[in-house]
Amino acid sequence: MVRSSVLGYPRIGVHREWKKALEAFWSGRLGESGLHEELQAIRLDHLRRLKEKGIHLIPVNDFSYYDHVLDTAVMFGIVPRRFGYTGGAVPLSTYYGIARGLKDAPAGEMTKWFNTNYHYIVPELDGAEPVLTENKPLLAYREAREKLGISGKPVLLGPLTFLKLSKGYAERDTDAWIGRLLPLYVQVLRELAEEGAEWVQLDEPVLVTNVSEADVQRLKRIYETFASAVPRIRIMLQTYFESLEHYRDIIRLPVQGIGLDFVQGGEGNLSSIRAHGFPEDKVLGAGVIDGRGIWRAPLSGKLKLLRELSEFVSPERLIVQTSCSLLHVPVTAKGETELPAGLKNALAFADEKLEEVVLLARALADGGAADDAGLEAADLALDLLQRSPERSRGDIQQAVAAILDQPTERSPFGVRQTEQRKKWKLPLFPTTTIGSFPQSAEVRTARQSWRRGEWSGEQYAGFIRGQIDRWIDLQEEIGLDVLVHGEFERTDMVEFFGEKLAGFAFTRNGWVQSYGSRCVKPPIIYGDAAFVKPMTVEETKYAQSRTPRPVKGMLTGPITILNWSFVRDDLPREEIAYQLAYALRQEVEALERAGIGMIQVDEPAVREGLPLKEAEHAAYLAWAVRAFRLATCSVQDTTQIHTHMCYCDFHDMIGSIEAMDADVISIETSRSHGELIGSFETNTYRLGIGLGVYDIHSPRIPPVEEMTSMVERALRVLEPGLFWINPDCGLKTRGAEETAASLRHMVEAARIVRAKYEGKAGALLP
């Protein structure tokens, strides 16, 4: 028998029940016992789905109350000291405090999970004394068995990856930390073995990155310890997102199975197996179904790949599975009835991917004859999509080819800076925001009324103008120097533009988790992307008419639209990025013609698209920078181009950020401020820059002194005349009162620092 498996399933529920439960608990509308009951119901429903679909190895402990990396940390009692944890099971209040912050304790740092749009809470090891507070995988295993009769496959983040994702320790202390963690992992595994668990999935995705020889030796130490201490448990050492590094070393480890990604890492992993074979004493978890994309798999081709793998691994030692957790895709495509039939028929979300896994496992076991119809249906659906006219727009392809032949250089920054100073006459340390302001229930209700046809277009436009009026007045009263219109007409920063560009489609319920309870509904880029008509001019021009202060036009950049969408897979991503850049260039020019002299083209997702292999970094960054410059290079010297980035470790790409040649970049840094400042101690940055001075993802209102300290620390290594002061990110998810209070503190901090620097030598006005 060929077995089937998945590495994890979406947490959020078909209708985002998970999100609603969390937010009800945080607001006090749901008690702790009620939260546990609602989340258990969601969790058990997930397990039933997997069982009913026919998955053999069903993951448990992939569910989370917020984030699986945070779960691992608190399971081992690794809680930042500022939260006053004194031992035992970590209270839910502390758990969510780490995730979201408390009044007197900032939240833990949040950053990207490898090269995905999921964010995890970074464990802080400094001062921690790890101890097993509760065996979460064991509890999940028991629940599945007792409630549903499922003998699940517990999922746990592996020790090496956990350490590599953590901070607060020196590299020289890595081995000591492994020594602290190993006994705890052994205890978890031993208790699972005693309970009857057969397989445990230990996720080590760090092994697809450029790990060192020292780390390979550490890995050997870890898994030899497990083999010796817990010989009864069967370990699936699971990797994903790319091909395995140090293949020959890893396959010799004393584990019973190794999971490889044959989608994102297909070429590399298959080459390794062809060159070096696969051990006869191990099971191969063949990740052939894409856990990150939303297209149906070309099943005939996947079956051909599995048959080739069967030449190296006998069928009874082959597990057909997803390439990674299905956390990164929506739950089901079943209800997407409003999409064109040709497009809908080519989609596969989580539930449909379960069916693909089971179908391939069955086809491989019986030679494929029994499932020929299913295989052919998938191939036909993809062929019909490929032949659609939306994928062959000659006008767009020719226009993009022509613009790629043009230079992307603007005048030198010094020339532009001089002209912009004359025009704008801003004070030292100008203050601004990232773009969005709180979207109240009133705003959301108005949008729904308009979308349902209950409001006319003019009625809705009048409502939006009223919101702009209110927040322009408030920004002026608070004392901000550069204003924004607030983005009240927008749902999501990518979805909004996708709805107005050709080549995009939208789902009704295609939600995925981004961070915490924050879910996004990525657009689908299925055809050639193209500009149709101005998208942001009306609201921005109106806002500018309401104030003598500059109002920024707000756009989402080509790389972020690319990386935050589900993208067609028949073209290189680079080509799609250039199509998007050409469309946005036309919008930038329309804003400038309308009199908007500051235009922010946000690129928060540049870093997350960075390939996991260092050898591929330069090529990606080159075309990402080129796309941004294509979108922004045609403006006048007096037009100031801004951009924004977030949740990134920038030290190894500061050169590329500077090459984007934006006049001002704002960077989300409040949760990792010190680390980024360290980058500028060794890397000079010569353009305008604003480092976020407070964390907008936390409900706390930081005091003026805290923000002032952040600014002064940054000014030790950054040029005062080029420094801007702003929040970390957009303010859409925050409340109006806390937003106003935080911005007042920020403006006061700017005034304090401005008073210290004005008149000093070298403090050049921006």
List the one residue out of 563, 578, 583 whose CA is nearest residue 622.
578
Angle between helices 457-478 and 736-757 (to 10 degrees): 40
117 is in an annotated binding site: yes
DSSP for residue 293: -
Residue for token digits 């999935």? Answer: 201
434 is in an annotated binding site: yes
List the one residue out of 155, 262, 244 whose CA is nearest residue 207.
244
**Burial of residue 204, with CB atoms counted within 10 A of its CB: 0-12 exposed, 13-18 middle, 19 or more buried:** buried
List the one residue out of 709, 752, 706, 747 whose CA is nearest residue 726.
747
The helix/strand/coil state of 438 is: coil
Joined tokens for residue 592: 């400038």
- Which residues lie closer than 8 Å to 605 by C-beta, 6 or more apart? 117, 559, 560, 562, 563, 564
Handedness of CA 571, 575, 577, 581 (dihedral sign): negative
410 is in an annotated binding site: no
The helix/strand/coil state of 162 is: helix
602 is in an annotated binding site: yes
- Whether the CB-CB separation of 601 and 588 falls below 8 Å is answered with yes
Q: Cα–Cα distances in Å, from 88 out to 24, 77, 180, 239?
A: 26, 8, 17, 32
Distance of alpha carbon 96 from alpha carbon 99, whole angstroms: 5
Q: Is 131 left (phi over 0), alpha (psi -120 to 50) or beta?
A: beta
Q: Cα–Cα distances in Å, from 188 out to 44, 81, 136?
A: 22, 25, 9
511 is in an annotated binding site: no
Q: Can you list the alpha helix ranges (DSSP code H) found in 54-158?
A: 68-75, 92-100, 136-148
The helix/strand/coil state of 142 is: helix
Q: Cα–Cα distances in Å, from 282 out to 199, 277, 359?
A: 13, 12, 23
Q: How many CB atoms lie within 10 A of CB 271?
A: 12
Catalytic residue among 119, 485, 673, 697: 697
668 is in an annotated binding site: yes
729 is in an annotated binding site: yes
Look up 697 and say whether it is catalytic: yes
563 is in an annotated binding site: no
112 is in an annotated binding site: yes
293 is in an annotated binding site: no
18 is in an annotated binding site: yes
> Concatenated DSSP letters for 210-230?
---HHHHHHHHHHHHHHHHH-
Helix, strand, coil percent values for the chain (each to nearest 5): 45, 15, 40
Joined tokens for residue 649: 């470790």
Distance of alpha carbon 756 from alpha carbon 709, whole angstroms: 13
Joined tokens for residue 162: 């956990």
Amino acid, single-letter form, for residue 4: S
436 is in an annotated binding site: yes
Q: Cα–Cα distances in Å, from 436 out to 433, 628, 701?
A: 8, 21, 18
Q: How many CB atoms lie within 10 A of CB 33?
A: 8
Distance of alpha carbon 543 from alpha carbon 551, whole angstroms: 7
Q: Which residues are catalytic?
A: 697
- Per the annotation, binding residues for L-methionine are 434-436, 487, 602
- Per the annotation, binding residues for Zn(2+) are 644, 646, 668, 729
- Per the annotation, binding residues for 5-methyltetrahydropteroyltri-L-glutamate are 16-19, 112, 117, 518-519, 564, 608
- Per the annotation, binding residues for L-homocysteine are 434-436, 487, 602
- Per the annotation, binding residues are 16-19, 112, 117, 434-436, 487, 518-519, 564, 602, 608, 644, 646, 668, 729
